Chain A
């Protein structure tokens, strides 16, 4: 679980649908690209038996980027998938969230993204709950 505020927003942005992020935060502020968006992979690990020693499960595609705003604030991004704009936008928001613009962005971008992520999660959990088996047991005569 993300511990700090920065871990929390970076995690939220990485998991958000790129199109939704672009709709909420269309214009990137003036910036200097420190690391142009680059597509690569991360090896995902599992644990033997769910709890034991780590093993290599398989890779996933990721994109990373870094940039610096004119005010000097630096932002980084590492996001799932191959969407360069997603990485750049995440890095820009990471940089802006360290400036005075943070409360506005928290309200206009992060809060809706968080609410939508929770709604998606809740919708799936509710469908899963509807498929939970409610066993009923017939009472046998001698137990009555």
Chain B
């Protein structure tokens, strides 16, 4: 059977023209610039960069404008652009202990060295709509208060616990990192590969999984040992010169969870760790990532597999990518005329056979 496969061109052109018009919205309302999106919708920009796995605020803002604010569509645009870029190299691992922090809190120690630094947080706001923001031509808010920065170092909370041997060690190593954008995901995955997949995973998916562990599906008794947001310098080797330079600065959100301890006859009890690191400012995702990372470590830590989704590496890693998920989900809206025709034929024959009391012919 032949199926018409051409003829939609004019309709598609018209659909795209209408899309452009809808994207612009009412022309009486001023056009939105990518710079406005970058500056005033920065958390949406951050999310697109994290899930698009490409740190470039201007491109993420452009993607958001083009996608009419659809985050997953914007992530898709950024991923597609990413594939056109030549890879010049790999950075040295960033040193989050040297982060210039804008926020740093611990839920485990009140008086930790360096203190609790709240930063520009939504916490403690009343979540009441602020109608003043709807007024046009608002003057910029007054500058935020300043104080003399302390010269105290800001040690990681896990480093403090590590001094007394109360938490498992995370010894430095120079094992080359795997990269799932270069070689396809293979299971079982190393922790490094899992962390890459989680760092670019859909925030909503990770949030739900992390929440499920809190509710008992693979419980790990997590505390937020520390959450820090700030900028770090990115160092990379300059091959022409044979040394490393700082090539830029990126904002990161890091969460270290401190989890239920384990011990044995030979080893004293110790806390265990989960880790979350996300490009941009996204503490919901960083906390989620650290909980899911910890849940996935059940085997390594000798825990039981309870059948919880968050413990199931294949389930988590195969379904956490929203571009991949969207691609497969939405493909079913595309023409399946022939497949469906076959099913239709079959159901008609089954019904005909049932009506005549005979077995259907294959």
Contact = CB atoms under 8 A, between A and B. Distances in A.
Interface string B82-108: 100111111111101100111100000
B156 A50 contact: yes
B56 A82 contact: yes
Interface in A34-54: 38-54
B13 to A, nearest CB: 30
Contacts of B174: 54
B56 A56 contact: no
Contacts of A79: 247-248
A45 B101 contact: no
Given A15-B233, A43-B91, A128-B101, A56 B147 contact: no
Contacts of A95: none
Interface string A124-140: 11111111110100000
Given A55-B177, A55-B193, A44 B238 contact: no
B249 to A, nearest CB: 6
Interface in B234-258: 234, 236, 238, 240-241, 243-250, 252, 254, 256
A64 interface: yes
A71 B178 CA distance: 44
B116 A62 contact: no
B50 interface: yes
A11 to B, nearest CB: 4
Interface string A56-97: 111111101010000000001011111000000000000000
Contacts of B268: none
A111 B137 CA distance: 38
Contact of A133 (B92, B118, B178, B250): B118
Contacts of A6: 241, 243
Contacts of A51: 97, 156, 159, 170-172
Contact of A11 (B120, B150, B200, B245): B245
A61 B172 contact: no
A41 to B, nearest CB: 4
Interface residues of A, number: 56
A110 interface: no
Contact of A56 (B88, B172, B177, B249): B177
B74 to A, nearest CB: 15
Given A2-B246, A43-B179, A126 B149 contact: yes
The winner among A76, A124, A127, A128 for most chain B CB atoms within 10 A is A128
A54 B248 contact: no
B27 to A, nearest CB: 30
B42 to A, nearest CB: 15
A126 B177 contact: no
Interface string B187-216: 000011101100110000000000000000
Interface of B: 49-50, 53-56, 58-59, 82, 85-94, 96-97, 100-103, 110-111, 115-120, 144-150, 156, 158-159, 170-181, 191-193, 195-196, 199-200, 233-234, 236, 238, 240-241, 243-250, 252, 254, 256, 273, 275, 277, 279
Given A51-B172, A125-B100, A133-B116, 20 more contacts: A7-B245, A11-B247, A14-B245, A14-B246, A42-B87, A42-B234, A45-B93, A47-B93, A50-B97, A50-B158, A52-B171, A54-B175, A55-B193, A55-B195, A57-B199, A59-B53, A78-B236, A127-B146, A130-B146, A135-B111
List the 10 closest pairs (A to B, CB-CB), nearest first.
Answer: A80-B248, A49-B170, A11-B246, A126-B146, A55-B192, A52-B170, A60-B55, A125-B149, A129-B147, A131-B118
